[in-house]
Amino acid sequence: MCRICRPFQTGGQLNYRAVGAHRHDHTHQHGRDSTLRVAAGDTQTLQLEASILGKNQMIATRNRNWLAERGILALNLMSSPGAGKTTLLEQTIKDMLATTAITVIEGDQETANDAERIRATGAHAVQVNTGTGCHLEADMLERALNLLKPVPHSLLLIENVGNLVCPALAA
């Protein structure tokens, strides 16, 4: 992804390169309303006092600690839409449910179809719809955990939204 499409972080700063100096190879257009416009060749640096993802990281840490305190193994599945995540979960649940307590968090942008399929296996499941979001955030998982209340020493399966174009996956 180019620097105009997405800000890049260096040393606690977000830098936006000037539109006029934007040169690279890709086919998309940069919209007038979504692009920071400065004089060609200039660079504008915005100082941030707090991490943009700080709140999400804090909740994610709290979620990890909550799961660890209870000995719950959490597995997050993410792959392309239609790759077979739900089918894999259905079969895993069928193979393990007699001996292992399993709860499932189903992430989807709009529907509850996958959660209905999972509930049909006998596992407890909650649907989390992200709307236009391309992945589950820590606060979404926290709310789902509060609804599901997985038992200690159980298995938590998370079927994430499945959008591998998600900028959160970029390092």
Any domain includes 2: no
First to last CA, the chain: 11
* Confidence grade of residue 28 (pLDDT, cut at 50, 70, 90): very low
* Confidence grade of residue 1 (pLDDT, cut at 50, 70, 90): very low
* Residue written as token pair 């040393």: 11
Q: What is the mean pLDDT of the chain?
A: 76
d(CA 134, CA 26): 22
d(CA 8, CA 98): 48
Q: The tokens of 56 are what?
A: 């999400």
Any domain includes 12: yes
Which residue intervals of the chain are DSSP H helices?
54-69, 85-96, 113-119, 138-148
Domain span including residue 151: 54-169
Which residue intervals of 70-103 are DSSP H helices?
85-96
Q: Answer yes or no: do 75 and 114 share one domain.
A: yes
Q: Answer yes or no: do 129 and 61 share one domain.
A: yes
Work out the percent of the chain whose per-residue pLDDT is above 70: 64
Least confident of 40-44, 50-54, 60-64, 160-164: 40-44
Burial 102-113 (b: 16+ CB within 10 A, else e): bbbbbbbeeeee
Q: Answer yes or no: do 157 and 73 share one domain.
A: yes
d(CA 61, CA 125): 22
d(CA 104, CA 11): 38
Q: What amino acid is encoded at 22 in this protein?
A: H
Q: Answer yes or no: do 83 and 41 share one domain.
A: no
Q: Answer yes or no: do 149 and 104 share one domain.
A: yes
Q: Answer yes or no: do 67 and 145 share one domain.
A: yes
Note the pLDDT of residue 136.
Answer: 86
Q: At 144, which helix (H) or strand (E)?
A: helix 138-148
d(CA 11, CA 24): 24
Per the structure, the count of domains in the chain is: 2
Q: Answer yes or no: do 69 and 28 share one domain.
A: no
Any domain includes 1: no
